[in-house]
Amino acid sequence: MSDDVFDCPFTYANGCRCKGTISRARAYGRSRGRNYPEREDVRKYRLWCSLKSDHAGAVSSPWSKQRMEFYPDELPEPLLDTLWRNNALK
């Protein structure tokens, strides 16, 4: 994602924040025949961490993967701008 680095938003059960950074993301929403949706059609983003991938297994529950999924209004605008500008969405 070029020189723009953003901290991983994952927080462990003991309250400690992950020390990794966001390494990639995926946008979910109506794709209208493209590989991924346009920015205005995104319903949710899933983020991956540079240290722990998607943090699977860090939380013992069927909802653990959702800890790295966010609605567009839950993420800072500079992060979203960087993801779209640098084509970091896979």
6-39 residue pLDDT tens: 999 888 878 899 999 998 888 888 877 777 788 8
d(CA 9, CA 7): 6
Neighbours of 20 (CB within 10 A): 17
* Comparison of pLDDT for 50 and 54, the residue scoring more: 50
pTM above 0.95, yes or no: no
DSSP 55: -
Residue with tokens 């999924």: 69
CB 67 within 8 A of CB 55: yes
CB 50 within 8 A of CB 1: no
d(CA 84, CA 11): 25
pLDDT at 73: 93
